[in-house]
Structure 1
Amino acid sequence: MHIYKAMKDCERKVQKSLESPTVKLLREHMEKAGCPVKDTFFKVIYCRNKYGGSYAPGGGGISVCGNFRQRQDSVTRNCAHHACSEIRANRLSGDCHFKRELLRGILKIRGHEPECIKKRVLKSLSSNPFCAASTTSKDSMEAVWNICYNDTAPFDKAP
């Protein structure tokens, strides 16, 4: 894909993600908490190294590498942050809920949700070249499991 086209495509994907109801809700709650996140916080940039993007504290914002973006949801992150993001995403999406698992033919009554989430987190971490080693993946997930699994903000409880 031509670099200009790839960068424009990435900009469209960033804008599309900002329209997501989940992202809108999170931004709304961050603003109420005194931490507004403006659209300009997200920048599409050209990267020399093959990364998905980065975060620069102190107002630097989130940079997304437009020349390496191919899927709407692909991101390269620190292993513990990556694990936490996956734990929260899988917990809050409800995709590992008992009813959905039942429809997939998983008949386990107790402990199905954490097992489902752990399986998905490890699968995601294994696709990240920085976290791919099985011990790195598992250690990263276990290090953040309790705090990230129990963090349902901005919701009162997992939906």
Structure 2
Amino acid sequence: MSTSNSSSGQDKPEIPSGFTWFRMLAAKYTGNITEEQDEIFRNVAVARKEARQCKTCESYRDFNLKWSPIINFMKENIEKLGGNVNTRNIECVNCTETVAGGFNPEQGIMLCQNWVQSKKHVEDTIAHELIHLYDELKFNVDWFDLKHHACSEIRASNLSGECRMMNQIVRYRQFKFVRAHQECVRRRAILSVIANPNCKDKEEAGRVVDQVWDSCFNDTRPFDEIYP
């Protein structure tokens, strides 16, 4: 299960606009600002940046929920299992970890607005997390069981498209071509399992991934084959 820590969104300063923000900028860059005003300026600057990131993330999310073939295919199959996918359970948040998103059975899907890079990156991230949701509904996954966790991570990285060749070159700077897809899936599954509180270390994560690899890598449900 992908996880992420996010800011709570509480105690954020009110974001000024127009002339008020212009005056704050002028005071900041002319040096005519007190220490207290400087702290307020920095807090407001962060809040404005987060607001821009949230707006962009939500626009990417909404676009993909409407137009992405893989996301709409997953939505249909999740609905067949009694689930529901909409903007209320896919939330853009500010994350403290360097990850694109996460899934929590109780909270839904989180998109890390400060790390997602493009509409395509958001599409891959939502697809990955929707496979976790599908597994949760169909297989009643115990996310603290390392084998269950590893299996869903293998499936999510394998089927979401995030390990396709072009992504590996552009996003991950990986230029290996022989068995590159399999190595990407295994690498990402191990990184996720390491974060499980029941996992002792990287070596244990690797062993667990290897133990379930064959059955989980070859399980392409609900797809007939790996998404290109």
TM-score of the two chains, using structure 2 as the length reference: 0.45
Q: Specify which of 68, 71, 76 is matched with residue 20 of structure 1.
A: 68
Say whether the 8 Å CA contact 2:92–2:112 is kept in structure 1. yes
Q: Which residue of 2 aligns with 1:146?
A: 214
Say whether the 8 Å CA contact 1:121–1:141 is kept in structure 2. no
Give identity over the alignment, percent.
21
Q: Which residue of 2 aligns with 1:109?
A: none
CA distance in 2, matches of 1:16, 1:139: 39
Count of residues in Structure 1 that have an aligned counterpart in Structure 2: 137
Q: Which residue of 2 aligns with 1:87?
A: 158
Output the amino acid matched with 1:27: K
Output the amino acid matched with 2:209: M
How far is the alpha carbon of 1:139 from its aligned partner?
Answer: 3.0
CA distance in 2, matches of 1:20, 1:120: 23
Deviation sequence 1:82-131 (CA, Å, 0-9, x none):
433223346xx987xxxxxxxx986xxxxxxxx44322224546887959
Q: For residues 9-158 of structure 1, what are the structure 2 equivalents within 5 Å?
A: 9-18=56-65, 19-47=67-95, 49-52=96-99, 53-58=101-106, 60-66=107-113, 68-71=114-117, 72=121, 73=124, 80=150, 81-89=152-160, 115-124=179-188, 135=203, 138-158=206-226
How far is the alpha carbon of 1:134 from its aligned partner?
Answer: 6.7
SS across alignment from 1:37: coil
Deviation sequence 1:66-93 (CA, Å, 0-9, x none):
2x22322468999724433223346xx9
SS across alignment from 1:63: strand
Q: CA RMSD in A?
A: 3.8
Which runs of 5 or more structure 1 residues have no equivalent in the other structure? 96-103, 107-114
Say whether the 8 Å CA contact 2:94–2:112 is kept in structure 1. yes
Q: Given the superposition, is the C-alpha separation of residues 37 and 143 from structure 1 closer, same or farther in structure 2, using an over 3 Å criterion?
A: farther
Which runs of 5 or more structure 2 residues have no equivalent in the other structure? 1-45, 133-142, 144-148, 166-175
Q: Given the superposition, is the C-alpha separation of residues 13 and 135 from structure 1 closer, same or farther in structure 2, using an over 3 Å criterion?
A: farther
Structure 1 stretch 2-11 or stretch 20-29: which is displaced more? 2-11
Instruction: Choose 1 or 2 for highest CA Rg.
Output: 2
TM-score of the two chains, using structure 1 as the length reference: 0.60
Q: Which residue of 1 aligns with 2:36?
A: none
Say whether the 8 Å CA contact 2:190–2:206 is kept in structure 1. no
Say whether the 8 Å CA contact 2:64–2:71 is kept in structure 1. yes
Structure 1 stretch 81-90 or stretch 11-20: which is displaced more? 81-90
How far is the alpha carbon of 1:136 from its aligned partner?
Answer: 5.8
How far is the alpha carbon of 1:28 from its aligned partner?
Answer: 0.7
CA distance in 2, matches of 1:105, 1:7: 36
Deviation sequence 1:128-150 (CA, Å, 0-9, x none):
7959x874664353233123222
